Amino acid sequence: MNILILGSGGREHTLAWKLAQSPRLNNLYVAPGNAGTAEIAKNIPIGVNNFEAIKDSLLKNDINMVIVGPEDPLVNGIHDFLLNDPQTSHIPVIGPQKAAAELEGSKEFAKKFMMRHGIPTAAYESFTGNTLEKGFAFLETLKPPYVLKADGLAAGKGVLILDDLEEAKKELASMLVASKFGKASATVVIEEFLAGIELSCFVLVDGANYKVLPMAKDYKRIGEGDTGLNTGGMGAVSPVPFVNKEFLNKIHERVIKPTVEGLKKDNLPYRGFVFIGLIKVGNDPFVIEYNVRLGDPETEVVIPRITTDMVTVFEAVANQTLDMVDLKIDERTAATVMTVSGGYPESYEKGKEITGFEEIKDSLVFHAGTDLKKDKVVTNGGRVIAITSLDENFREALKKSYQNIEKLHFDRMYYRKDIGFDL
């Protein structure tokens, strides 16, 4: 089996690391990949949205399966593009078709899906430039804080949470009228604020069957104590200590089952990961958002806990035989801590040499934003390296990750020292 992974982050390095362990794998390719994937696979220097070039490399390298990491190419229709081309239609793609990727591509679409299928989520209404005044009136009926969401993809920045009504109105106008997030904010979802603790749930779906992956929790804010700006994610743990049997059962019955059934009822073609962003309010799960891919850095703690051969698992997704797979999970806890470039998530520099890899022991090193420059590993993004460790509980796992992180060096390296602080 020859496999191509699309993407260049920690999620893709982790998937590559896992697939590379399979005796059923022949050649592994990552496009565009990073310095970490280059060690275990062949990087192909093409962008994830360059569909024609992706097709050419599939044919040239005799690739038998494509695994899509990020949401962008899915929302842009990479699955449909390859499926509709007679030269590539036989190559399975792990990741939903465009119509189903709207679950992440449009917040309004996702809210309507949840309403239609009785899935618990915050009350909402959506507005456009033509209904701005109605949007103001709706805000006046809500209690603060106010949650404004750009409908479309906005690189993780499209959600604003505001304490002040006047500020919320100003931001609503700026999104709808002044195109604050470009086309992505031509429609805005305003929703009720939910207070609780968040967690990430991943379900692998083959269109007929599904498997629930281990739960994870990520830490999105840049600052300790969950303060400061939102990032892609600064660390993660799996499993999540506060998810007991009873709560897991509620997630299953109220959220996972109706989501998978809803995809079928609505004829949304889905073979891939559904990422359900949940919030626990009191003792009840509510859906904050859907993503149509794995999370990053959640992947860095979820995938290392899966002990089943991943080539077999993905093949079952392609063949709609996931029900035949026995998905085995390592009982231990995985924790990851992300090192980032100084300045991130605002502007930061790239190209800083990273040293100390050879001193890391007993942890997994996943590259998130790195590149090779004259045989040296250098920083190439805001999030740079994730260090994952497995142990009996999250405290021990984190201890290992922190011990190893101290051995890594690059100019202006930063990481949160309090991952897991709230567990």
Residue 10 C-beta: closest distance to ligand GLY, Å: 10
401 binds ligand GLY (CB under 6 A): no
Return the one option of ligand AMP, ligand GLY, none that residue 207 interacts with (CB less than 5 to 8 A, by type). none
135 or 232: CB nearest ligand GLY: 232
> In the bound complex, which residue of the shown chain has the CB atom lying closest to ligand AMP?
289
Q: Is 300 in the site for ligand GLY (CB under 6 A)?
A: no
Type of residue found at 170: K
Distances (CA, A) of 393 to 176, 229, 376, 389, 399: 46, 29, 35, 10, 10
Residue 295 binds ligand GLY (CB under 6 A): yes
Q: How does DSSP assign 107-127, residue by residue?
A: HHHHHHHHHHTT--B--EEEE
298 lies in the site for ligand GLY, by CB under 6 A: yes
Angstrom distance (rounded) from CA 288 to CA 204 = 19
Cα–Cα dist 336/366, whole Å: 9
Whole-angstrom distance, CA of residue 422 vs CA of residue 291: 24
Residue type, 388: T
- Tell me which of ligand GLY, ligand AMP, none is bound by residue 295, counting a contact when its beta carbon lies within the kind-specific cut-off of 5 to 8 angstroms: ligand GLY
Candidate ranges 91-99, 105-113, 263-271, 295-303; the one touching ligand GLY (CB under 6 A): 295-303
| Residue 410 beta carbon to ligand AMP: minimum distance, rounded to whole angstroms | 28
> Which one of the spans 191-199, 293-301, 307-315, 358-366 is the region binding ligand GLY (CB under 6 A)?
293-301
Q: Note the helical H segments in 148-270.
A: 165-176, 245-250, 257-265
* Least CB distance to ligand AMP at residue 122 (A): 4
Count, residues near ligand GLY per rule CB under 6 A = 7
Q: How far is the CB of 48 from ligand GLY (least distance, A)?
A: 15
> Using CB under 6 A as the criterion, which residues of the chain lie in contact with ligand AMP when the complex forms?
122, 147, 149, 159, 191, 193-194, 198, 220, 277, 288-289
- In 118-132, which positions are buried (b, 16+ CB within 10 angstroms) versus exposed (e)? ebbbbebbbbbbebb
> Rounded to the nearest whole angstrom, what is the least distance from the CB of residue 292 to ligand AMP in the complex?
13
Report the distance separating Cα 87 and Cα 329, nearest Å: 37
- The site partner of 291 among ligand GLY, ligand AMP, none (C-beta below 5 to 8 Å per kind) is ligand GLY
Straight-line distance from the first to the last Cα atom of the chain, in angstroms, rounded to the nearest whole number: 41
Shortest Cβ 277–ligand GLY spacing (Å): 8
Q: What is the DSSP string of 321-345?
A: -GGG----B-SSEEEEEEEEETTTT
- The distance of closest approach from Cβ of residue 298 to ligand GLY in the complex, given in angstroms and rounded to an integer, is 6
Residue 198 interacts with which of ligand GLY, ligand AMP, none, CB < 5 to 8 Å by class: ligand AMP
Beta strands 28-32 and 42-43: pairing type? parallel
Nearer to ligand GLY among residue 198 and residue 396 (C-beta): 198
- CB closer to ligand GLY out of 151 and 298: 298
Q: Based on CB atoms, which residue is closest to ligand AMP, 147 or 260?
A: 147
Residue 238 binds ligand GLY (CB under 6 A): no
Q: From residue 205 to residue 234, what is the string marking binding to ligand GLY with x (rule CB under 6 A)? A: -------------x-------------xx-
**Considering the complex, what minimum distance in angstroms separates the CB of residue 149 from ligand AMP?**
6
Give me the half-sphere count of Cα atoms (radius 13 Å) on the Cβ side of residue 279. 14
For β-strands 227-230 and 221-223, DSSP reports them as antiparallel
- Minimum Å gap between C-beta 119 and ligand AMP is 14
Binding-site partner at residue 120 among ligand GLY, ligand AMP, none, CB < 5 to 8 Å by type: none
In angstroms, the CA 396 to CA 394 distance is 6
**Can you tell me the distance from the alpha carbon of 247 to that of 241, in angstroms, rounded to the nearest whole number?**
11
Strand 235-238 and strand 333-341: pairing? Answer: antiparallel
Q: What is the DSSP letter of 303?
A: G
Residue pair 293/205 in contact by the 8 Å Cβ criterion: no
Could you give the CA distance from residue 86 to residue 288 in angstroms, rounded to a whole number? 38
Among ligand AMP, ligand GLY, none, residue 108 binds (CB under 5-8 Å by kind): none
Closest contact distance (angstroms) between CB of 61 and ligand GLY is 28
Provide the binding-site residues for ligand GLY, judged by CB under 6 A.
Answer: 218, 232-233, 291, 295-296, 298
